[in-house]
Each structure stands twice: as structure tokens, then as C-alpha cells.
Structure 1
Amino acid sequence: MSGDTITQPHHPSCAPSRAARELGLKRGELDLAVHLGLIRTVPDEGGGGRRVLRSEIERMSSEAGFPDTLRERVKVAGTTQGADLMHVSAGRFTRLARLGLVVPVKWYLNRYRAVVWLYLAEELKQVAADENNAPLLNARRMPEALRAMLDTGVDLRPRNWRGRHRGFLLRLAEDPWESAGALAAFLDPVHIAEIVPDPYERSHLNRFRPGPPTSGAPGSPSAHLAERLMTADDPDEISLLRADLTAVLEEARDRRPAPRPATRRVPAPAHPVLPGPARPEESEPPRGLLSWLRRRARGGAC
């Protein structure tokens, strides 16, 4: 056997914090760029999360207008800034967001534990520039059907954010089990138990099930709120997630079944032992008789 070793090609990469500095971004902006698919990442071979390929940094750095164009693509706006970009009131902006005309890209909890939705500034400008949206943006009153929906309490912001975040997680998935975990992340444990009744398989699936991107300490009010935002609550959304998860699980099982504990086998004896009737216990001869027998054997008996 020769001493030559075939090695896998090495792709230079760096940690996200280093990549952010080299690209002129804040760490949150880099994360958003990855989320949007603008920058590709690879798993850390040492298990330390994901890393940014050096080739990606070079590619982004060579684009025209760098770094301003990159910053513009990841710039976000809250309700007040978004309303200004779309030239509408803050109240109308919120109503349009609730109806799903604009889709949040991320969120955070403020000090009052209220959800603050953030939107891509670039997308808001595109919505405002679309002439088809002019009636919704400029009309004095919104159409009656839309007002009726708002009166019933419709709010598509959580669902639309979940759809966007689900796409991000699925892009990162590298095998069917990771894809299944990404889908399961948006279903509550009851639905998962119905789809995956086998406890070993369910335990394996949960290894790939990511949590909310933002949360406080486990069990805290912030963590509970983050979990609620992450969990689908619309019947149509739940139905689609269940169907997708069922299909992806079939592929995952075919490719690599979930591990199970090894079954211990007790080896059979080489020669079967046939039980027979118990032999009666023989009592020890009296001491006097033993002495007499020994003397007799030596020829000293009389």
C-alpha cells in the first residue's frame, strides 16, 4: 500500500465576526445577509457553528459600489422609518403590514417585551414604487373588504415572518433530517408527536429542530413569547407544514433511518442442560464410624 493520501480540498474561511469586519457590516447585518442568501456559509468542521468562505468575501468586495451597496441591501426599518419610506402614516403602514403587503424580515423584543417588527428598506421602496399598490397607499379609506379583515383582528406578520425564516433554515439544511428539523421547528410538540409517533425517531428529529432566533433565558416570558411567534397557529399553515414534514421524513427514513439502542441477546448454552430429579442430600457418617473405618484400613480393628 502506498503512502500517498487523498485529501479533500480545503476552502479557506473565517468566523462570522471577522467576515463582518472585512465586509464593513455589523454582526447583525452579516447574519441578515446570510439569512437572505446574499452570502453563503459553510459548517465549521470543528462544530463551532458556520463560517464564511473567503471566496464569498472576495466576491462581495469586488462588486460595484462596495460596501455601500451591500449595506443598502441589508438595511432594515421599523414602523416609523418604514412609513416614511412609503410616504404613508404609521397607522396605515401597520395596517398594510397586518394585511401582508409588506413582510417583516426580523423582529426583536423591546424592554416592555413588545414585539418590534423590522422590514427590509429596499423592499419597502419597491412596494411604494409599484403602481398597482397606489390605491392602498394613497386612498383616503381602505377597501371595505380589507377593513373588515382588519376588524376581525387579522395579522399576517407572524405567519409571513415564519415563512421567510423557514426558507432560510431550509437553505441551510444539508440532508433530509435537517430539512425535517427545519419544518418541525414551526410545529408544536402535539403535532410532531402525531406525525412521528416513534419515540426514538422523534428524539432524533428533535436534534435537528432549531429554536427561535431570539429568546431570553429558558422559561422566561421572553422565551415563551419567542416560542409562540415561532409556532404556526393558522390552520392552513399547520396543514401545509404537516404535509411537508411527512414527505421529507419519508425521504429521511429511506436515506438514513433514525438510530435505535442495540438489542441485547442472551447466548444459548452450548449443551442444553436437562433437569433431572434432585438427588437426596447424603448425610455425613458419624465420627465414631469414620474412626473405626480408618483403624480397620490400617489393620488395627478388633
Structure 2
Amino acid sequence: MSGNTATHEVTPTARTAATRGRAPFSQSRAARELGLKRSEFDLAVHLGHIRTRPAEAGGGRQVDRAEVELLRGQEGFPDALRQRVATVNTREGSAIMEVTAARFTRLARLGLLVPVAFHLNRYRAVVWRYLADELREFAADAKNASLLNRPLPETLRGQLDTGLDLRPRNWRGRHLGFLLSQAGDPWERAGVMASLLDPVQISEIITNPYERSHLSRFRPPSPAHGAPGSPAVHLTERITTAQDPDEVDLLRADLARAVREARTHRPAPRPASRHPDPHPGPDPHRHPDSHPHSARHRRPPAPRHRDRPRPSENLRPSEYPRRSRGLLGRLFRRAT
């Protein structure tokens, strides 16, 4: 069906009881243990099928061995797990739903089919990908029969005639949910919100330069690949940045709220003062008795604040914060 469903040899591992307490797997190793491509593994994490947790030493996330053993023990492993993350393009999706590619594209533009990923082909055309299981569910629902087998209602055709295309916006809403599922620290959640807004919007909301600098540490990396300023990067940035006025307004409001919460949780650090100390301490190479007032003017070093997000396990979709679910519901759109 799709190149994403290639078969991999699964490396045997010890049972859960034997692995309890041992070091967790890196994400690459966990993908090999589960017989998944890295792209399939990442999608499974995003969808909540695989739990990860922040690495204790920082620098990424890890997977507990018990989690890997739990998945390996499920019925139908590994094919069932691969099936849940199988994605298809428009041509493959239209075959699953038994409709023409043109009808499939219209339904996706109307927001009735939500893409889960995208990439640019060699001609810099956007290739949207969809979860195969979701397409099967849509086609099997009797309520959608008229959308598959009959002419679209005039209201929907009119929206398509105006150029409506909700695929980028609905991908952004879905991607936002993926990122929020891994953000446990208030500054991380604010960084996720900021990742969908352009720098001008962010500077208007966060006027404090120290907070903007601190926030940038928690912004997820952009999925854009290519030389800076290239057409491919510009196109990717347009897809990954909020465009609709109501979408922008929603994200701006939620970013402002998230920053207020983050500020209360832990203020953004400020750089040390560059002004000379009016009462400098003694020269460490000078004898203590050479300056009678050294001890009186000596100051203890200012404590250095370590600013690291508190580790937290990523949540499954059903455990997303209530406010996040409300935001996602408002960001997603479907033609009516």
C-alpha cells in the first residue's frame, strides 16, 4: 500500500521482568526493537501509541524497556502496530476509499480528510499523507456515503470554487496536538504555540527581549529542509505557519496565556549585569592584609540559576490538557 509499511526484522529482547530497572532505549534503538522505520516510530509516538520520556541527562527522549516489551506482547505484533501508523498519498487513499483522486482531493480540501504528514517532491509540489485506517473508517461510515457516491452539495462546491483548501490548517492543528503531547513544562507549551506563528506576531505578544530569547530555546525545530531562503523552505514555512486571521488570533491569545503561566511558574532568566561593581572584592593574588577593607567589601558570588524544563512523560491523546483540546478543536476546520 505504502512505502511506509515495509517489513523489518524485529530484534528479540528479554522479557519485561528481566529488563525492569535497566537503562531505557534511545528512540532509534526502540524503533529497531519494534521493527519500525524511524518515520513510522515518530508517527507512532505522535499518535500516542508509544510512550516516551525525557532523557535524564537531557538531549532528547527515551523509551522504557517495559514499554517496548508491552508493545511486543500485544496481539498481532508487529503487523498490527505497523498498520496503525501506515500512511498513504492521494492516489493510494482514493483506491482505499474507492473514489477518484479528484473526489479524494476535494474531500481533503474541505477538511473532511485530515492529513497527518507532508513532504515536497522533486518538483516542489506538496505531497500530503493520510492515515490509512482513518480513510477506511471514513469510507465505512454510512453517513459519508453521499459524499463518496453522489455529486457534492452546492454549498460545498461553492466553497471549493473560492479556492478553499483546509489541508495546511488542519495539518497544523494536528501537528500542534502532537507537540503539546510531549510538552510538560509551561515554557515548552508556550514554545509549541510560538512555533506556528511568525516572528512579528511573537514580538508583538512578548515585548520583553529576555522572554523572547528564553522562549526560543523551547520552540520545536522547523520541519523545513533546504538552503535558507530557498523556494522549498519558503513553501514549507508557509504550510507550517498560521495563515487564517481567526487561526492567528486563537494562537496569539493562547500564546499570551501560556507565557503568563510560564512566567508565574519560572521567570525567564536575565543576563548578569555588565556594570562594574562599585565595591569590588579583593584581588585574589593580593595578600589579604594589603587592603584593610577587603573583607568588609567582599561579596559572595551571585547564585547561578539553572533553567531546565522539568521532566514529564508525554501524554496519550486522551490525556491532553483540557485547554489544549479546546484550542485544537477551534483550530481544526471543516467545511459546513
With the length of structure 1 as denominator, give the TM-score of the two structures. Answer: 0.82
1:36 and 2:51 matched:
no
After TM superposition, give the deviation of residue 132 of structure 1 in Å: 1.1
Residue number among 198, 202, 224 corresponding to 2:234 in the alignment: 224
Q: Which has the larger radius of gyration?
A: 1
Q: How has the CA–CA distance of structure 1 residues 249 and 11 changed in structure 2, closer, same or farther, with 3 Å as cutoff?
A: farther
**Residues in 1 aligned to 2:21 and 2:193: alpha-carbon distance in whole angstroms:** 31
Q: CA deviation at 1:42?
A: 1.6
Matched, 1:86 2:97: yes
* Identical amino acids, percent of aligned pairs: 63
Given that residues 224 and 237 in structure 2 are in contact (C-alpha distance below 8 angstroms), is that contact kept between their aligned partners in structure 1? Answer: no
State the SS of the aligned residue for 1:172: coil
Residue 27 and residue 102 in structure 1: after superposition, are their counterparts in 2 closer, same or farther (change >3 A)?
Answer: same
TM-score scaled by length of structure 2: 0.74
Change (3 A) 1:10 1:238: farther
**Whole-Å separation in 2 of the counterparts to 1:121 and 1:143:** 26
Please state whether the residue corresponding to 2:62 is helix, strand or coil. Answer: strand
Looking at both structures, which has the greater relative contact order when contacts are Cα pairs under 8 Å and sequence separation is at least 6? 2
Q: In structure 1, what is the equivalent of residue 159 of structure 2?
A: 149
Identify the match of residue 135 of structure 2 among 121, 124, 130: 124
Counterpart-to-counterpart distance in 2, 1:10 and 1:261: 40
Counterpart of 1:62 (choices 73, 88, 113) is: 73
Aligned equivalent of 2:145, options 108, 114, 134: 134
- Over residues 259-281 of structure 1, what are the superposed CA-to-partner deviations in whole Å (9 max), with x where a residue is unaligned? 112233642699xxxxxxxxxxx
Which residue in the other structure is 2:125 paired with? 114
Is there any run of 5+ residues in structure 2 with no aligned partner, and where? 1-19, 281-292, 294-336
Structure 1, unpaired ranges of 5+: 1-8, 271-302
Residue 296 of structure 2 corresponds to which residue in structure 1?
A: none
Q: Indicate the RMSD between aligned Cα atoms, in angstroms.
A: 1.7
User: How many Å separate the matches in 1 of 2:88 and 2:145?
Assistant: 21
Between the aligned partners of 2:54 and 2:236, the Cα distance in structure 1 is: 25
* Greater alpha carbon shift after TM alignment, 16-25 vs 143-152: 16-25
Amino acid at match of 1:33: A
User: Aligned partners of 1:184 and 1:255: how far apart in 2?
Assistant: 18
Write the deviation string for residues 31-90 of structure 1: whole angstroms up to 9, x where unpaired: 110111110112223433222221111111111111111011000010011001111100
Pick from 259, 262, 269 the counterpart of residue 269 of structure 2: 259
